Structure 1
Amino acid sequence: MGADHTRPAPSAPPGVRRILVATVVPLFLITVVAALVLWPRQDREAADAPALPRYHGTVTRVVTVPCPPTPEAPEGSPGGSAGPCGTVTVAAEQGPDAGRQVETPVPSGPGAPRVEVGDEVILVELIDPADPAVKSYNIAEHQRGTPLVWLAVLFAVAIVAFGRWRGLAALGGLVASFAILLGFVLPGIGAGQPPLLVAIVGAALIMFVVLYLTHGVTAQTSVAVLGTLGSLVLTGVLGTLATAATHLTGFGSEDATTLSMFQGDVDLHGLLLAGIVIGSLGVLDDVTVTQAATVTELAHANPALSRRHLYRAATRVGRAHIASTVNTIVLAYAGASLPLLLLLVADSRPVSQILTSEFLAQEIVRSAVATLGLIAAVPLTTGLAAVVTTAGRRGTTEGPADPPAPRPPAGRDEALEALGGAPGQRAGGWPGGDRNTEAAW
């Protein structure tokens, strides 16, 4: 999540709290009702092909030999050797041959695991269709359970050690997010429900649970919730318009094409929009929580700031945050698409044709729509936070109502001397009441 402030936010006036409750609670109830309506009623039938039996084992011996030449190419030619070749002896730990040594061929081909003595691997049992009594084993992959468990433990310990109770709440929010994704969003899309609608409802559920669980039930959190929900809906609308304008079909990746073969009734265009919404949520709640907290902290530091001054100062923080977050979004998508980008480098077509192709245009639209929704979240959340924070004051729209008492001259001179200024000099570079630091930086 975004900002973490150990000092509790000042309590909002009772009238403001009632307005927030009257706004947030109906939205939450609508989200819950929509989730119940869209909840998958029955599980999708499993594929006809049965899953191959998989058993654990440990490599005890590896013997490699030169690969024989293929019939199509002479020995020593570039395509004459598939390599590596040989046998691997594995001590089976599960299955009908548990406790025995079984032999498998050395894994070969693109993506094949490289095995050594002592490696813990997963064996796949193959049955000869012509003679079910004849069976063999192949090594599918390494066992990764133990390293992943230790990595998850380190991850959880680091978060709790640094964040304490707030870190524990963040872990609870992470568990809730995956529970909603795996229990509602993915089964709902797989059951044929509209992917975009399922994604928005699922993202709203995640937002309500995670934000209130992590940051507490406060007016500041409610402002972040409203800002996030509004930005999510805007992101969905922009994504719909952008994909329609660019005529994207959703078949821009090999994964989507493979999915269409196994589940032909899945709306890949809607799945693309759902991915944009879900992907935007993680960055949106970071920005909205930060903006709401920034307004609250500014008002706490200087209660005399007006609503307009709070909005302007917090928006300047938001601009700096957006400037770094936009780069984060683009790099995140680029990192997930490195094989695609490398393929583009080897493509001999003109750049204009590459950029407008389905698979790259899809990534461009994804990044642009997520960024636009992110930018819209800053003024929306900041404006709501400024209104809520200054509610109940007098003179909050024109200027400070009660100027703060002047500090002792000696303390001010000492501070200026520590900053390198001359005693008696006004803090240079602070223009008026807005205290805009952009020019100074």
Structure 2
Amino acid sequence: MGADHTRPAAAAPPGVRRLLIATVVPLFVLTVIAALVLWPQADRDPVDGGADVPRYHGTVTRVVTEPCPPTPESPEGDTGGPCGTVTVAAEQGPDAGRQVETPVPTGPGAPRVAVGDEVVLVELVDPGDPSVKTYNIAEHQRGTPLIWLVALFAAAIVAFGRWRGLAALGGLVASFAILLGFVLPGIGAGQSPLLVAIVGAALIMFVVLYLTHGITAQTSVAVLGTLGSLVITGVLGTLATAATHLTGFGSEDATTLSMFQGDVDLHGLLLAGIIIGSLGVLDDVTVTQAATVTELAHANPGLSRRQLYRAATRVGRAHIASTVNTIVLAYAGASLPLLLLLVADSRPVGQLLTSEFLAQEIVRSAVATLGLIAAVPLTTALAAVVTTAGRAGRAAGPATPRPPSPREDAWEALGEGRSGGGRSTEAAW
């Protein structure tokens, strides 16, 4: 989000501005009202996900490894990981300032620790004797590296985008605020995930696009194009998931969520993920198409509405061709463990492709791409109408003849060269 695709656009005529205001403002008010109606209640009880295990920070000061003792299940002593103890200087909790011992972390996904590592300790209490407690290493502390990475990210955006980059960062903060403050709590409160996602995506769109690109006619066209494409994506997603009988239980995360929060509609959650995931690409496409029409009209004021639409659509086709690959690769990158699991599966390819967990990814990619394709003609047509209406409103004197195209220049030059009059072909070129 937040790419700067154009120079500041010329102000639209009053009639065009009034028409856009009469269209966009009611949609914004309707979005705000829907958000207030769907806003999660603060008195909802938190999900009971088990006991809250205390977590404290510490620094590893010593690591001692030793052979694992044999067990009946592994007589050779092969328990799948190293054994030994790790000494950690506790920085928080009741043992702050002391050295505590923990077992070496083992098992799938266990962190590998070394002297000097900053780790997170979990305190475990013996149910039979609450006075007996032990510590285990849960994971590494990641706060400091993440802060430096985010600072570098923000500095690079501001250095390259300047004020527009700063506005893009503001839009990013607003997006996360809406997601964390409205969308996720709303879905967790039992509201319809699809409805919450559409309202949340529309709210993000209004805030981010106008904050990043300014309150202009060009931005309003992008807003309308994005909103229309989101509605199309939601309808297509509903039809596709119903036709393929997807339940939303296509991942281990969804199954785990259903255990802790049984009232969450996982089918609707799948649709909500498609809507939110499509928004980030949709706004880039719509802003680009609106800016392309504006730039074409600025470069050649003689282009008609149809010519503007055709020329900008050609740009949109090239954009879509690269963006489709981006969408598929993004989903594939996020699902590499799933793809590796499929490679190791011995079932026929046809059964794998139609299984719930892979069919879900196919539907997600296909629906997002169809919504993206629909955004190009929709936004381009709106931008062409607004741009040519603005041109008609600014016309106060005699019409300026349309400059000849390069092809017309070439034919005229060749014709004059053949007739032998006026300029020579070389002079005309």
TM-score higher than 0.5 here? Answer: yes
Partner residue of 2:352 out of 351, 354, 358: 354
Output the aligned Cα RMSD: 2.0
Give the fraction of aligned pairs with identical amino acids, expressed as a percent: 86
The residue number in structure 2 matching 1:129 is 127
- Rounded Cα–Cα distance in structure 2 between residues aligned with 1:239 and 1:44: 31
1:384-440 deviation line (CA, Å, top 9, x unaligned): 000001104459xxxx96223899x9xxx9xxxxxxxx94465xxxxxxxxxxxxxx
The alpha-carbon deviation at position 250 of structure 1 amounts to 0.2
In the alignment, the residues of structure 2 paired with residue 8 and residue 394 of structure 1 have an alpha-carbon distance, to the nearest angstrom, of: 20
**CA separation in 2, counterparts of 1:267 and 1:205?**
22
d(CA) in 1 for partners of 2:64, 2:377: 65
Question: Following the alignment from structure 1 to structure 2, what is the Cα–Cα distance between the partners of residues 5 and 349?
Answer: 48
Map of 1:213 onto structure 2: 211
1:342 counterpart = 2:340: yes
Contact 1:2–1:289 (8 Å) recurs in 2: no
1:150 and 2:148 equivalent? yes
Q: Which amino acid aligns with 2:66?
A: V
C-alpha offsets along residues 112-160 of structure 1, whole Å, 9 cap, x if unaligned? 0000000000000000000000000000000000000000000000000
Is 1:377 matched with 2:375? yes
Unaligned residue ranges in structure 1 (runs of 5+): 414-421, 427-441
Give the equivalent residue in structure 1 for 2:20.
Answer: 20
For residues 61 and 336 of structure 1, the distance between their equivalents in structure 2, rounded to whole angstroms, comes to: 36
Q: Where does structure 1 differ by over 6 angstroms across 4 or more consecutive aligned residues?
A: none
CA distance in 1, matches of 2:215, 2:367: 30
Aligned residue number for residue 72 of structure 1: 73
Could you list the per-position Cα deviations for residues 209-258 of structure 1 after superposition, in whole angstroms to 9, with x for gaps in the alignment?
00000000000000000000000000000000000000000000000000
Whole-angstrom CA distance in 2 between matches of 1:83 and 1:5: 53
Partner of 1:39: 39
Secondary structure at the residue paired with 1:51?
Answer: coil
2:40 alignment partner, SS class: coil
1:402 is aligned to 401
Shift of 1:2: 5.7
Which of the residues 226, 237, 240 maps onto 1:239? 237
Q: Aligned equivalents of 2:25 and 2:38: distance in 1?
A: 20
Q: Quote how far apart the aligned CAs of 1:40 are.
A: 0.8
Q: CA deviation at 1:49?
A: 2.4
Tell me the TM-score normalized by structure 2: 0.92
Corresponding position: 1:172 with 2:170: yes
Alpha-carbon spacing, 1:343–1:406, altered in 2? closer, same or farther (3 Å): closer
C-alpha contact 2:31 2:202 (8 A) present in aligned 1: yes
C-alpha distance in 2 between matches for 1:360 and 1:230: 28
Give, in whole Å, the separation in 2 of the partners of 1:91 and 1:406: 76
Deviation track 1:149-175 (CA, whole Å, cap 9, x = no partner) reads 000000000000000000000000000
Q: Matched residue of 1:178: which SS?
A: helix
Label 1:120 to 1:48 Cα distance change in 2 as closer, same or farther (>3 A): closer
- Residue 57 (structure 1) shift: 0.4
- Give the aligned partner of residue 200 of structure 1: 198
Q: For residue 404 of structure 1, what is the amino acid of its counterpart?
A: P
Among 311, 314, 317, the alignment partner of 1:316 is: 314
Q: Structure 2: where are the runs of 5+ without partners?
A: 394-398, 414-424
Q: Which residue of 2 aligns with 1:367?
A: 365
Whole-angstrom CA distance in 2 between matches of 1:112 and 1:406: 67
Q: Which amino acid aligns with 1:53?
A: P
Cα gap change, 1:391 to 1:89, in 2 (>3 Å): same
After TM superposition, give the deviation of residue 35 of structure 1 in Å: 0.4
1:223 corresponding residue in structure 2: 221
Matches within 5 A, 1:412-423: 423=426
- Residue pairs, 1:414-433, within 5 angstroms: 423-424=426-427
Contact persistence 1:2–1:287 (CA under 8 A)? no
1:46 CA displacement: 3.7
**Normalised TM-score (structure 1):** 0.89
Aligned mates of 2:68, 2:139 — CA distance in 1: 22
Alpha-carbon deviation of 1:13?
1.1
AA partner of residue 369 (structure 2): T
C-alpha separation between the residues in 2 aligned to 1:322 and 1:237? 20
Partner of 2:299: 301
User: What is the aligned length?
Assistant: 408
Is the Cα–Cα contact under 8 Å of residues 122 and 135 in structure 2 kept in the other structure? Answer: yes
Letter in 2 for 1:347: D
Whole-angstrom CA distance in 2 between matches of 1:122 and 1:155: 26
Give, as a single letter, the amino acid of the residue that structure 1 aligns with 2:401. D
1:82 is paired with a residue whose SS is coil
Q: Deviations over 1:9-49 (max 9, x none)?
A: 01111101000000000000000000001011133424162
Secondary structure of residue in 2 paired with 1:391: helix
The amino acid that maps onto 1:17 is: R
